[in-house]
Structure 1
Amino acid sequence: MDCSNIHKTYAFMKNHKLVKAKDIKEKPVSFDMKGLDQCDEHQEVLKFFCEDENQPCCSTCAIVDHQKCNSVVEIQTIAERSASTSSKLKASLQDIREKAETVVKYTKSSKEQLDQDVKEVSLKIRRMRDNVMKMFDDLERSVAKDAESFKTETLDKLTKKHSDNEKHIADATKSLETIDNIHQHGTPSQQFIMEQRMKKQVSELSSNVEKECQRLETVTVSFDFDETLKLPPLSISDYIPWQLTLKYSLPEAVKTITPVDPIVKLTKITSIDLKQTADDVGEPLYSGLDFLPDGRLVAVDNKNKKCLIYNEKLEKVGSFQLSYNPFGVVAVSEEEVAITCGGRYKIDFLRVSKSNEITLIRTCKVTTKYDSICLKDKRNFVVGTVDDTRHVRIVSQSGEEKDFSINFPSKKYPINNSASTYIRNSDKVVLTDRDEDTVLIYDIKSNTRVVVKDDQIKNPRGVAVGLSDCILVCIKETDSIVQISPTGRVLSSYKLDMDFPYTVCITKDKSIIAVTNTVIGKRKLQLFKVTY
């Protein structure tokens, strides 16, 4: 009270605004980010966030690397108005820690059970020795030796699994502590930066623990023998026929927590028949589809040499006549698409305005014929080749070509015999092989591949990356869309009401897919809502 009276007494204090102390919000204390708020490339403070690329950037990055992006905002602004995702990160890390703890628990239990089983073998042999003296002494040494050999081999694997998952627990715990500290003491901007920087780390950690959970096994050793004894002089194995068995099994308790990939559900939104119009030379054949960021659908008509635009109701709102038969199309930005020519050595770039006017911007000359095309990152495409042993290549937006570090089989795909796409989060290339009825998943980092063969995969066509990086494949033989996990597990199959599905694409937010087909006289274009 005395303090407030003083402000009334002195003239220079009369304009001071007085508020109740309890109403004052504590100012966030600056938190030491230990370099997390610094740009890796320019060592500048991260002040901006590119909503197009979904990544924080410094002033230099914003000017140099994101000048073509449509939405680059100050982190301080978006951090204040965006809901924090720290709770999601914490939930993921807690889930990772719990699963890793489960692996540690069961590897520990398996080690104990292994010791117990090996001891039981000896006890069983000792009971037998009461009736058959020296013979069972020899038997014990022989069987115990093999059991110890099993134990030694298996313990090495279990010890490594145990150690790896203790590290996962430590990493998850450390990350949780960092999140809590920043959440309690950091500014909103620091919280936002930390969350963005840790997403990839959490994703990799989650993937590692998921794999460990899927490979979780209990190891047991059992001893069995034929009680009908044979007479000497024979070897110990002839005296008592026996078998030492090493068995791997999944504990019932663990089966309930073993992670499964989410199953995608498709609900049809709308469908149109593709009919020949007055200015068409034949029935439309859409060889390439992709969505613009605003939800408009771009289609290329291989038969009639056109690029077309559809709205969310599948109403045609734009059209552009090409001089060649286009094959693949990909949205490069809000108002730009790239088109491959299949049989020609070029990639065309077209501008698609908000008012649906289409104009040719430029043409990039290339040295290889390409059909399917998708974005690898903000500067490069992943393209499928035609009649080339390098089945998939990288092409920059300026036309520079280079190869993946992949050992492709020595074969060539004619046009229309394969389609490709790219899983950005895990750096994997996906390729369909119509002749072999297979889907190939290449891991770029390890230069390994998974060959997916299944009764549900017969004559695979177009391919796209959906929710949780699942792979959506058009299957001609069964008129369906098959969902495959990034690791190669066939998850589900959705029957379509169209014959010979050919091309599929998905919106940027992974909520809607478009599918078209090739059967003459029954060609359709359909939209589906994607849910779990």
Structure 2
Amino acid sequence: MATLKLEAEDGPCCPICLEQFNVPRQLPCAHSFCEKCLQSHITAEADKRENLKYVKCPVCRNSASPANKERPVREWATLFPVSSVLQSILPAKTKVDRLCDACNNEGVSASAEVFCVVCKESMCGDCLKAHRKLKMLKDHTVISVEELACNAEHVMKLAEGFTCSEHHGEDIKYYCKDHKLPCCGTCFFRGHKNCSNVIDLKEELPALLCENKPAETIADMKKIESHLKKFMEMNEFSINNLDKQVNGLTAEIRKIRKEINEVLDKLEESVKTEGNRIYKEEVIRIQDENHQCLSLIHAVRNSHYLFEAVDKYGSNLQKFLMGEKMKSQLHSYYNLVGEKYEKTETIRFGLQLAPSIKSMLSVSFSELGKVATTAISNTVPLGCLQRAAKDCRVERVDVIDLKIPTGNIPWYTGVTFLPGDRVMLADYNNKQCILLSSSYQFIASHTLTVYPWNICLLDDQEVAVSLYNKNKIQILSVIGDIIRPVRTITTKYNCNGIAAAGKGKMVVNGYCGDYKSQWSLINTRGEEQCTHQYDSTDYNYLNYIALNNAKTRVYVNVCANNSLLCFDMYGRKLFTYSPDNLRGTTGIALDTYDNIYILGKDSNNLHQLSSDGSVQQVVNKEVSSCSWAICIHQSKDILIITNTSDERTKLLIYELK
């Protein structure tokens, strides 16, 4: 049976069709696709969801909206911009005519003849005439589309800066260090004018570029591609091994055939048929996985080509902005690779025979035996999936006094980031969840019937809240400023700590009696997939739990023992961290490099560990006995700690540098 092959590196390819681009359309996340492929994806999304308002990127699943959502869905792909950089580095035979942007926005397809350097739009002959009639536009510099498509260097020189993905046509001018977010003038006035550290990119660009390391980013992309190729090689080996095992089954049957003749003939035919059926199904499944890997490889490679072109020919502003976007892509790439390694399984065949071989002749062939399959997880060293370790210096940048309308003094025992840099808090004392804006201002609240403890983000629109001492988890939807209950999950024991485990799964932990606590992997229906117990000395309600980025390690705190425990997904303890200067362990969080951060509320410090449990630094006098929950923004290296006392409630905001 034919298998997927990775073609030679002959230029950027569409991650969907795996062919060279035909009209590359670029989404705000910087992933590009053929126009027809993107439209097919959008149409498929529209078939699944009514009143489609956005589409998810086929690679990273980030949301993207067209410039004009009122246009028919069948035209959405044409509303996303053509990637001029990718277009310029494609082989000549794959280049296509550019369309007039103005006509295209009106639903009319007209070939572009020129490109306005000032307006940054392609125009047909008629639009060019109208353009020159306006006094304020007639002096704009225009060039032919043939000249525009000549090379990447020329394209980058014409486009000095990138425009804002949220506010069409506005140039990126500022950079908010508080949120690590590039923004245009509108972004600044709407969401960042009260931030304490917003800089003008033209003035600070040289300093920011010093922090960017293009070589490291490109090396990480090549490493991702290497991992995906290795995954494909493992699957190719599995296919060959499956073939050998199926043939081995028939050989085993032939050895027994001397005693059971006619009956074993029937059994051989049955086993071979069943084995071949399973073999074909597994081959199809594995080839589908390889197709996904190949698609992701092309996405990584396209990012690589795009980043190299910007780094080689772009301005300093372009290099910086693209570097920021690539860092965000790397995080999603590592998580996708981690998921694939974690779920890699190999089918093994075995022949199950009836207990009494001598009595086989008196048994019908269907009772003699059948093909038995066992899925065995391939063990992959965790180190090969991790990004290179990086020490992150913790630096406090702000203290936010929260002024939220409540009855009792709030006690924020849980915190998590939401899409759009918003924040959600679990307020134990007032039995409610609080929604904050990206500038940490109160937006909305939702009252629960019982006390919440911890909170985690499940997907773009849902969060899970553990309900203290109730053996229940509340799922909430957060759409815009509206918080609504979706469903309630019942658990087998009191779950307090909770963390998302990807694809509709969570890990939870809590006290289960007899001086024992336990952690479990459950799905969003409450079904347990594995459960593991550990010693917790006494009743311990201060439970928190976290996972590494690859979802292969689980970290839990034992407050009574002043310790942090690390387990693999099979429940095997990998290490214990329990130094003398860590007392009263509470919240746990991990950054994108799998550095571990744990609060010591009674020792008044924050401990930072590497992924193997070795201490990197201890930040003293930064937290107090009022500090409980901690979370980290996975793409912006912002760390938040909740702090509640009788006098005030606040968020401590840190940067990881």
1:212 paired with 2:340, answer: yes
Asked if 2 retains the 8 angstrom alpha-carbon contact of 1:430 and 1:442, the reply is: no
Q: Does 1:479 align with 2:562?
A: yes
Aligned to 2:506: 449
Q: Which residue of 1 aligns with 2:405?
A: 365
Specify the SS of the correspondent of 1:461: coil
1:501 deviation in Å? 0.9
| Alignment TM-score, normalising by the size of structure 1 | 0.61
Letter in 1 for 2:425: V
Q: How does 1:293-442 map to 2 (within 5 A)?
A: 295=396, 334=398, 336-338=399-401, 347-348=402-403, 364-366=404-406, 370-372=410-412, 374=415, 376=417, 380-386=422-428, 392-396=433-437, 397-402=440-445, 412-413=450-451, 418-420=453-455, 436=494, 438-442=496-500
The Cα shift of 1:105 comes to 0.9
| Matching residue's letter, 1:525 | N
Task: Please give the alpha-carbon distance, in whole angstroms, between the structure 2 residues aligned to 1:400 and 1:247.
Answer: 51
Name the structure 1 match of 2:180: 54
The answer as to whether partners of 2:455 and 2:463 remain within 8 angstroms in 1 is no
Name 2:301's counterpart in structure 1.
Answer: 173
Asked if structure 2 preserves the Cα contact closer than 8 Å seen for 1:433 and 1:439, the reply is no
CA contact (8 A) 1:481 1:494 kept: yes
The answer to whether the aligner puts 1:515 opposite 2:600 as a matched pair is: yes
Write the distance in 2 (CA, Å) between the matches of 1:465 and 1:256. 17
What runs of 5+ residues in structure 2 fail to find an aligned partner?
A: 1-151, 470-492, 510-518, 520-532, 612-657
Whole-Å Cα distance in 1 between the matches of residues 423 and 233 of structure 2? 45
Structure-1 separation of matches of 2:290 and 2:363? 44
Answer yes or no: is the 8 Å Cα contact 1:100–1:169 preserved in 2: yes
Amino acid at match of 2:442: G
Q: Which residue of 2 aligns with 1:280?
A: none
Task: Give the drift of 1:209.
Answer: 1.0
**C-alpha displacement of 1:151:** 2.5
Instruction: Compute the displacement of 1:211 (Å).
Output: 0.8
Deviations 1:452-493 (A, max 9, x none): 414156625275989979997642232223468999997643
2:247 to 103, 119, 138: 119
Q: CA deviation at 1:447?
A: 6.0
Residues 1:38 and 2:163 aligned together: yes
- Note the alpha carbon deviations across 1:149-178, whole angstroms, 9 max, x for none: 433443343232222111121111111111
Shift of 1:110: 0.9
Report the alpha carbon displacement of residue 52 of structure 1 after superposing the two structures with TM: 1.3
Superposition deviation, residue 71 in structure 1 = 2.1
Q: Deviations over 1:77-119 (max 9, x none)?
A: 4442322322232222212111111111111211222122212
Shift of 1:135: 2.3
Note closer, same or farther for the CA distance 1:337–1:474 as it changes in structure 2 (3 Å cut). farther
Cα pair distance change 1:137/1:484, threshold 3 Å? closer
Give yes or no for contact 2:455–2:498 (8 Å, CA) kept in 1.
Answer: no
Q: Distance in 2 between matches of 1:400 and 1:59?
A: 23
Shift of 1:207: 0.5
Contact 2:565–2:575 (Cα < 8 Å) also in 1: yes
Secondary structure, in 3 states, of the residue corresponding to 1:455? strand
Query: May I ask how many residue pairs the two structures share in their alignment?
Result: 401
Q: Percent identity?
A: 15
Please say if residues 501 and 516 of structure 1, whose CA atoms lie closer than 8 Å, have aligned partners that are also in contact: yes
Pair 199,379 (structure 1): closer, same or farther in 2 beyond 3 Å: closer
The answer to whether the 8 A contact 1:106-1:218 is kept is no
Q: Is the 8 A contact 2:161 2:317 kept in 1?
A: no
Normalised to the residue count of structure 2, the TM-score between the two structures is 0.51
Contact 2:562 2:578 in 1 (8 A): yes
* Alpha-carbon distance in structure 1 between the residues aligned to 2:233 and 2:558: 43
State how far apart, in whole Å, the 2-side matches of 1:463 and 1:154 are.
Answer: 39
Tell me the distance in 1 between the aligned counterparts of 2:408 and 2:563.
32
Letter in 1 for 2:371: L
The correspondence of residues 24-35 of structure 1 with structure 2, limited to 5 A, is 29-31=154-156
User: Aligned equivalents of 1:136 and 1:432: distance in 2?
Assistant: 59
Q: Does 1:236 align with 2:365?
A: yes
Alpha-carbon separation, structure 1, partners of 2:596 and 2:258: 72
Question: Is 1:525 aligned with 2:608?
Answer: no
**Counterpart contact for 1:93–1:202, Cα < 8 Å:** yes
Shift of 1:31: 1.9
Deviates more, 1:205-214 or 1:41-50: 41-50
2:651 equivalent in structure 1? none
Q: Which amino acid aligns with 1:244?
A: V
Gaps of 5+ in 1: 1-26, 267-290, 296-332, 339-346, 349-363, 405-409, 518-523
Paired with 1:75 and 1:177, the residues of 2 have a C-alpha distance of: 25
Q: Tell me what 2:261 maps to.
A: 133
AA matched with 2:336: N
Say whether the 8 Å CA contact 2:221–2:330 is kept in structure 1.
yes
Compared CA separation, residues 113 and 494, structure 1 to 2 (3 A)? same
Displacement of 1:193: 0.9
3-state DSSP class of the match of 1:400?
A: strand
Residue 198 in 1 paired to residue 326 in 2? yes
**More displaced stretch, 38-47 vs 475-484:** 475-484
Residues 285-311 of structure 1: CA deviation (Å, up to 9, x unaligned): xxxxxx9x854xxxxxxxxxxxxxxxx
In the TM superposition, residue 142 of structure 1 has moved relative to its aligned partner by 2.0
SS of the residue 2:534 aligns to: coil
Distance 1:168 1:52 in 2: 32
Q: Please say which of residues 227-236 and 418-427 is displaced more in the overlay.
A: 418-427
Indicate yes or no: 2:339 matched with 1:183.
no
Distance 1:32 1:487 in 2: 54
CA distance in structure 2 between the aligned counterparts of 1:128 and 1:472, rounded to whole angstroms? 51
Say if 1:107 and 1:158, in contact at 8 Å, map to a contact too. yes
> In the alignment, which residue of structure 2 is the partner of 1:358?
none
